[in-house]
Amino acid sequence: MRTGRLIALVLFVVGVLVAGCSSDSNPPEPTTGDWHGDIEIPDHPLAVGVTFTSKDTATIDIPLRGMTGTRLTDVQSSREGVSFAIADVPGDPKFHGTYDQGADRITGDFTQSGKTFKLSLQRGKVAPPNRPQTPKEPFPYKSEDVTYRSGDITIAGTLTKPEGSGPFPAVLLITGSGPQDRNEELMGHKPFLLVADTLTRSGYAVLRSDDRGVGGTGGKLDDANYTDLSNDAAAGVGFLRGRPDIDPTRVGLFGHSEGGYLAPLVASRPDSGVAFAILMAGPGVPGADVLVEQTRLIAAAGGAPADEVDTQVRQTTELAAFLKAGDLAGAKDAARKQNAALPPEKRAPESEVDAGITPNLAALVAYDPAPALKALRIPVLAFYGGNDLQVPPSQSEQPMRDNLAADPDATVHVFPGLNHLMQPTKTGLPSEYSSIETTISPEVLTFVTGWLTQRVQPK
């Protein structure tokens, strides 16, 4: 469960900001152009870029939040002061500062949810985050944009293949919860691009696709249940097995987080044709249990007092009960009441609260992976990060072992010191993901590739 939607309703992490400015000098305004700087959040400075196009119009880029060209509101400026804000974001984020003509800098205070952080901007564009593992062209393999059908929708993706005619063994990648593109991009990282590159260089064809409503894929993810999503994955398997350059007897699945729910669900179908399954941080217990436990762990690791942790756990449990029962109206009503009980500066817009309660979230909360896992009789690798706070191995490792006990070739492994994305981590907190340069620990990529080549030899 990536930085899941329900968590977002309860734990909004400072990471969205605003900017804007101008001056009362003759054109061009001294603030016109590109600026960059860091919001000085303790231990997690957040790089931002602001572009002023006029005295009352500006946009912001936050590379670590995947934000590009976001329009700012309430942009005002003069030689005496600069201020700006962003609309419809919890915590009422705003900036108040000044433009120093001598130093040619904008300095001031960024506030959100009652907290204040220093922000100083200097000329120039914000640098992209350092992601040394992101694959770069030219690639020693073929890459092809493809489309295929799943019921009434078209799914768009990228198929990478080793050089040669094949037929190749193949892997279909299945993303975690929430709307994800084919690279599963978040916070400047592209985990699925890295996985695809690693496996293709090792001799496997890899298909990764956009989720419903993302990129070139049709449909609407919020309205999709697990039948819909497993059908989408099954359509990808069918697409691969129908190609002459793919070996139809050696097509498997790689699912991350919620994808670790969907992969066994597809593979357990009698006619799936799935040859193996790799589950990265795939939960071994029902979705409701995962959400409650991740709420507790993240709140506690973030330094929340014990009574606040208890409150957040109680609220998540309440919402999960409504969602598990399929009562979306009850869940929305409970979420509104919980939101209204927060201090004004911490409240989310009611429209955002309602938008977070969806049939898709209800499907996740209600899902129990045990039946599908117990039915598997194919090679399965399930692995976890020892410091994962979103799908903690303390909760899922043993149930995963128990559920796979009848499978003749099942491996469950925990990597100490890694988080939900399989990054080396200090805390495991989602707020740390963006500040870690590693996308996926090399030891994980080596382990997965080694496990796979022992069972499915490339050509």
What confidence tier does 146 reach under pLDDT thresholds 50, 70, 90? Answer: very high
User: What CATH number does residue 27 fall under?
Assistant: 2.40.128
At 399, the amino acid letter reads P
**Contact assessment for residue 316 and residue 11, using Cβ atoms and an 8 Å cutoff:** no
| pLDDT recorded at residue 22 | 35
Does the structure show a pLDDT above 80 at 201? yes
User: What's the angle, vertex CA 413, arms to CA 373 and CA 238, rounded to 5?
Assistant: 45
Q: Let me know whether 160 and 268 are in one domain.
A: yes
| Other CB atoms within 10 Å distance of the CB of residue 138 | 5
Does the structure show a pLDDT above 80 at 317? yes
Q: How far is CA 104 from CA 24, 30, 40, 49, 62, in A?
A: 15, 8, 20, 16, 22
Q: Compare 459 and 124 and report the one with higher pLDDT.
A: 124
Q: Let me know whether 400 and 294 are in one domain.
A: no
Does a structural domain hold residue 301?
yes
- End-of-domain residue from the set 123, 151, 185: 123
Backbone φ and ψ for 390, nearest 5 degrees, come out as -95, -40
| pLDDT recorded at residue 112 | 86
- End-of-domain residue from the set 72, 95, 123: 123
Does a structural domain hold residue 315?
yes
Tell me the per-residue pLDDT of 391-444, one tens digit each, with 9 for 90 and over. Answer: 999 999 999 999 999 999 999 999 999 999 999 998 999 988 988 999 999 999
**Calpha distance 261→268 (Å, rounded):** 11
**Contact assessment for residue 257 and residue 1, using Cβ atoms and an 8 Å cutoff:** yes
Does a structural domain hold residue 398?
yes
What confidence tier does 24 reach under pLDDT thresholds 50, 70, 90? Answer: very low
| pLDDT recorded at residue 88 | 72
Tell me the per-residue pLDDT of 254-264, one tens digit each, with 9 for 90 and over. Answer: 999 999 999 99
Q: Let me know whether 33 and 172 are in one domain.
A: no
Q: Are strands 33-39 and 277-280 parallel, antiparallel or unpaired?
A: unpaired
Q: Let me know whether 267 and 291 are in one domain.
A: no
Tell me the per-residue pLDDT of 262-290, one tens digit each, with 9 for 90 and over. Answer: 999 999 999 999 999 999 999 999 999 99
Burial letters for 321-356: b for 16+ Cβ neighbours within 10 Å, e otherwise? Answer: bbbbeeebebbbebbeebbeeeeeeebbeeebbbeb
Does the structure show a pLDDT above 70 at 190? yes
Does a structural domain hold residue 411?
yes
Q: Let me know whether 65 and 30 are in one domain.
A: yes
C-alpha torsion sign, points 363, 369, 375, 379: positive
Does the structure show a pLDDT above 60 at 132? yes
Average pLDDT over residues 87-113: 87
Q: Let me know whether 189 and 282 are in one domain.
A: yes
- End-of-domain residue from the set 123, 149, 180: 123
At 300, the amino acid letter reads A
Does a structural domain hold residue 134?
no
Does a structural domain hold residue 133?
no
| Other CB atoms within 10 Å distance of the CB of residue 273 | 18
User: What CATH number does residue 232 fall under?
Assistant: 3.40.50.1820
Q: Let me know whether 359 and 427 are in one domain.
A: no
Tally of structural domains, the chain: 3
Does a structural domain hold residue 24?
yes
**Calpha distance 34→31 (Å, rounded):** 8
Does a structural domain hold residue 129?
no
Does the structure show a pLDDT above 50 at 7? no
**Contact assessment for residue 157 and residue 209, using Cβ atoms and an 8 Å cutoff:** yes
Q: Let me know whether 281 and 185 are in one domain.
A: yes
| pLDDT recorded at residue 25 | 40
Q: How far is CA 5 from CA 1, 266, 274, 395, in A?
A: 9, 24, 30, 20
Domain hosting 292: range is 287-363
Does the structure show a pLDDT above 80 at 5? no
Q: Let me know whether 109 and 17 are in one domain.
A: yes
Q: Let me know whether 264 and 401 are in one domain.
A: yes
pTM value is: 0.87
Average pLDDT over residues 148-161: 98
Does the structure show a pLDDT above 90 at 18? no
> Could you tell me which residues come within 8 angstroms of residue 55 by beta carbon, excluding any fewer than 6 positions away?
21, 22, 23, 24, 29, 31, 75, 77
Q: Let me know whether 119 and 45 are in one domain.
A: yes
Average pLDDT over residues 56-79: 84
Q: Let me know whether 118 and 11 are in one domain.
A: yes
> Average pLDDT over the chain, rounded to whole?
91
